[in-house]
Amino acid sequence: MTTLITGATGKTGQRVAHRLQTLDHDVRGVTRHSTPRFDWHDRTTWAGAVDGCESAYLTFQPDLGLPGADEIIGAFAAQAVAAGCTRLVLLSGRGEDGAQRAEQAMTASGAEWTILRSAFFMQNFTEGAFADELAAGSLTMVEHTVAEPFVDADDIAEVAVATLLDKGYVGRVLELTGPQLLTFEEAARAVGGPGVAYLSMPTEDYITVLTEAGLPAADAAGLAYLFEEVLDGRNAYVTQDVETVLGRAARSIDGLAGGEQS
């Protein structure tokens, strides 16, 4: 069985691919620069990606909650199922209305689906959106007061592999969190040290920060308002789904801060 991995160089995609390859499973990792090439926004690249695959781990860029993602996911899932790639595991977000529309579009495709609703990645502070700024000693974020159960990308990858290989997870929605609630300020200082300068600002000002950092205006606005939406308290709780699937506790941010990653 060949498994398609979209976003194969991303934080979870590369981890899922590595684990499957370690288990001697065939993997086809695709990106906009791979062969075959894959681009969510270029439907002519889809057929070559899914051809010969029976399962897929799907991550959408820049975010599943942004407008139009549901139409793209629905169209791709339908094409994948028609091509024989029927087992789909989708990485989604917690409490995102737009992401839930995309989930519904995928489940309507006839796929054997599993949905992984993830909290914010711990690795956003070391590999992702906040990494460069945090390395320079600061973090800027949308104004909010609630905490978030940051989850380790390695845990997500292990759960994704388990659900890809075990059909007992077909038709299930899993919520993946870390073991503790932390504010972004607390998380930033746990990873970057107590001297990290934390700055929160209104959403409109944060959009300006994102666009000045090079993000397209539409994506910057979409992400900023998405942060505002999901950081209103709706996700301020911990789940046990990582432990249920893996048989061990979810990793804490202390391990990431200490460099203990698998």
The rounded percent of the chain whose pLDDT value lies above 70 is: 98
Domain with residue 25: its CATH number is: 3.40.50.720
236 located within any domain: yes
> Which residue from 23, 1, 5, 2 is spatially nearest to 14, judged by alpha carbons?
5
Q: How confident is the model at residue 182 (pLDDT cuts 50, 70, 90)?
A: very high
- The predicted structure's pLDDT at residue 153: 97
- Cα separation of 32 and 102, whole Å? 21
200 located within any domain: yes
pLDDT in tens, 196-230: 999 999 999 999 999 998 889 988 998 898 889 89
- The predicted structure's pLDDT at residue 222: 86
CB contact at 8 A, 104 and 71? no
pLDDT in tens, 73-90: 999 999 999 999 999 999
262 located within any domain: no
**Tokens for 66?**
């942004």
The domain tally of the chain equals 1
Average pLDDT over residues 141-157: 96
CB contact at 8 A, 112 and 149? no
- Cα separation of 11 and 234, whole Å? 25
List of residues 6+ apart from 159 with CB closer than 8 A: 116, 174, 176, 241, 242, 245, 246
Instruction: Residue 103: give the domain boundaries.
Output: 2-257
199 located within any domain: yes
